[in-house]
Chain A
Amino acid sequence: MRQMLNTLFVTTESAYLSLENENVVVSDGDKAVAKVPLRSIESILCFSYKGASPALLGKCCEFGVSVSFYSPRGRYLCSILGESNRNVLLRRKQFVLADDASACSSIAASFVIGKIYNSRWVLERATRDHALQVNVERLKRQSSILASALKEIKNCDNAESVRGIEGQAAKTYFYAFDDLILNNKDDFYFERRTRRPPQDRMNALLSFVYVLLSGDCKAALQGVGLDPYVGFLHADRPGRASLSLDLVEELRPALADRFAISLVNTKAISPNQFEVRENGGVYLNDAGRKVVLAAWQKRRNEQITHPFLREKIPWGMVPYVQALLLARYIRGDIDAYPPFFWK
């Protein structure tokens, strides 16, 4: 499988990125603080407000290095990726399928089957690994409701009911989510999902991790030539990267939720690495973001065996491989889109 190279995270708010020969130079004020060869990285995630030089961006496109910009607080702004979207037949087929109700429901079902299956395993893993600490009965009950949702989806023939089951399953899953938090319960707790803004630390952490995962998914889809804005599970809405959201769904439990939970349970992240704003919104602070990004990069390098391809790949390649499998399904090489089943 393709080699995964490093990601360069730039978290200093006032950093500016520029090009020197084939290196990216990170400077803060007049001082160059880092110099990294472009050939050694595959993406740059930039959380500074100063941005990057056009010359660097041009070179990145040439080298196939994707550059994503976020606000210093972690809001996604944009990505730049070279001319990879030349596969016009793939995109045309994607659009045709997105207009075809039965194709939509079949692909949407795959995403949701993946999501429910993986959600269920997150709960099951907790009962297995922490039987003495968690409410096993509640987790088992929620897990079995999720199992019946899987059954239900098999008899589903339209995307609307797939979405309905997905909504119910998400509620079922999050109902037991607080049980997964084992440490610092006074500061880390979960009642329900809040996003705009996140109203507690756990939600703040989840939101930030989802942003990272979404960025990976979007770059992966673009990288294989799919249009991230035309989805199957999520309907078109101007400005919404629906296909990215589709792909995020199945990867959320295994790649994001478990990651966030383990940061809390291992005490890698601490309550004082968050800040509360006037509007009641809770966000990671500078130190917190650094912890999460470093751990994220480490997690991305961990090896797993892809369940469908049966090939060893780093975690970080999962969105890319799934995007590739989706493209291969859309081009007619396989008879269904196989979601990523985590175990």
Chain B
Amino acid sequence: MNMLSEDDSLSVRSTVRPVEYPEDDWLALSGVQHYEFCKRQWALIHIEQLWTDNARTVAGDLEHKRAHDYSASEKRGDTLILRDLRVFSKMLGVVGDCDIVEFQASEDGVQLHGRKGKWLPYPVEYKYGTSKTNNADRLQLCGQAMCLEEMLSCHIDEGALFYQRTKRRERVEFSEELRAQVVNAFADMHELFQRGYTPTVKNQRGCSNCSLKDLCLPELMKAKTQSARAYIDSIVAGALEEDLR
């Protein structure tokens, strides 16, 4: 499945960036889904450290609990299922957790510490609700795969998103386009993070569902058509006029 739109850049931008990011500068891998949804939302959460829950985020957390239980890891036949696996990439400068990574026993696989045989990793991310129209979930999953590839020196062709509402797995192929998008998104996020810059409000349809709406104040954009300065001036001018009457 490929949901890329035409104007998405297909190549990795050539801006100068470090070959490897130091651990202190690593960003949260899961942030890419915020970033894809809204750059400002990502900045509010990760740069300004703001967070509030709404019904959706709480429901998402509740649905998610089991996925994040390392002790629930298990082996089923030829499949090793690891839950809540911490992954990182020095190249992307990110760290995060995979809900589930399934390792298939395979001659083409890689060796795992403490496990016999060779294994092929297959990341699976649990998601709230149903499949989204935007690319956020796919980018996050692809980012996880790229972390696993770097950690295990392997290549991963695909993974899956499991949507809790539909109880369906959606296969995601880690194409060159998707990988380039992941690389570019994280490069941009590192750049914003470095500058401590929070992008300004862009009112969009998703705003009404956003748990940060009340901290972000998308209404500011509307208010901005008359600036705050002009607003103050007009109120004061009005007060003086009344006085003349």
B47 within 8 A of A: yes
A150 within 8 A of B: yes
Q: What are 19 inter-chain pairs, A to B, with CB distance below 8 A?
A: A2-B214, A90-B48, A144-B243, A147-B240, A150-B240, A151-B236, A225-B50, A308-B223, A308-B231, A309-B219, A325-B228, A328-B217, A328-B220, A333-B217, A334-B224, A334-B228, A335-B227, A336-B227, A339-B232
Q: Once the chains bind, are A329 and B49 in contact (CB under 8 Å)? A: no
- Of the four ranges (under 10, 10 to 19, 20 to 34, 35 or more), the interface on chain B belongs to 20 to 34
Q: Once the chains bind, are A324 and B217 in contact (CB under 8 Å)? A: yes
**Chain A residues within 8 Å of B198, by CB:** 331-333
Mask, B190-221, CB within 8 Å of A = 1, is 00000010101100000000000011010110
Answer whether A335 and B229 are a contact pair too, CB < 8 Å, given A150-B239, A309-B223.
yes
Q: Once the chains bind, are B49 and A86 in contact (CB under 8 Å)? A: yes
**Chain B residues within 8 Å of A308, by CB:** 223, 228, 231
- Contacts A2-B214, A225-B49 known; list 15 others, CB within 8 Å: A87-B48, A88-B49, A225-B50, A309-B219, A310-B219, A324-B214, A325-B217, A328-B217, A331-B198, A332-B198, A333-B200, A334-B220, A334-B228, A335-B227, A338-B231
B residues adjacent to A (C-beta < 8 A): 47-50, 52, 196, 198, 200-201, 214-215, 217, 219-220, 223-224, 227-229, 231-233, 235-236, 239-240, 242-243
- In the docked arrangement, what's the CA distance between A308 and B228, Å? 8
- Residue of B whose beta carbon sits closest to that of A337: B228
Q: Once the chains bind, are A147 and B220 in contact (CB under 8 Å)? A: no
Q: Once the chains bind, are A329 and B228 in contact (CB under 8 Å)? A: yes
A274 within 8 A of B: no
A172 within 8 A of B: no
Q: Once the chains bind, are A334 and B227 in contact (CB under 8 Å)? A: yes
**Chain B residues within 8 Å of A143, by CB:** 243
Answer whether A333 and B240 are a contact pair too, CB < 8 Å, given A1-B214, A87-B48, A328-B220.
no
Q: Once the chains bind, are B236 and A117 in contact (CB under 8 Å)? A: yes
**Chain A residues within 8 Å of B201, by CB:** 333
A154 within 8 A of B: yes
Answer whether A338 and B243 are a contact pair too, CB < 8 Å, given A2-B214, A117-B236.
no
In the A-B complex, the 9 residue pairs with the smallest Cβ-Cβ separation, listed nearest first, are A86-B49, A336-B228, A147-B243, A336-B229, A2-B214, A338-B228, A334-B228, A89-B196, A87-B48
Answer whether A341 and B48 are a contact pair too, CB < 8 Å, given A147-B240, A324-B217, A334-B227.
no
Among A75-115, those with CB < 8 Å from B are 86-90, 110, 113
Q: Once the chains bind, are A113 and B48 in contact (CB under 8 Å)? A: no
Q: Once the chains bind, are A309 and B236 in contact (CB under 8 Å)? A: no
Tell me the dominant secondary structure on chain A's binding face. Answer: loop
- In the docked arrangement, what's the CA distance between A339 and B198, Å? 23
A120 within 8 A of B: yes
- Residue of A whose beta carbon sits closest to that of B221: A333
- In the docked arrangement, what's the CA distance between A177 and B52, Å? 42
**Chain A residues within 8 Å of B52, by CB:** 2
- In the docked arrangement, what's the CA distance between A110 and B214, Å? 23
Answer whether A151 and B240 are a contact pair too, CB < 8 Å, given A110-B232, A334-B227.
yes
A30 within 8 A of B: no
Answer whether A89 and B239 are a contact pair too, CB < 8 Å, given A308-B223, A333-B220, A334-B223.
no
- In the docked arrangement, what's the CA distance between A322 and B77, Å? 60
**Chain A residues within 8 Å of B239, by CB:** 117, 120, 147, 150
Closest approach, in angstroms, between the C-beta of A138 and any C-beta of chain B?
Answer: 16
- In the docked arrangement, what's the CA distance between A309 and B231, Å? 11
- In the docked arrangement, what's the CA distance between A335 and B240, Å? 23
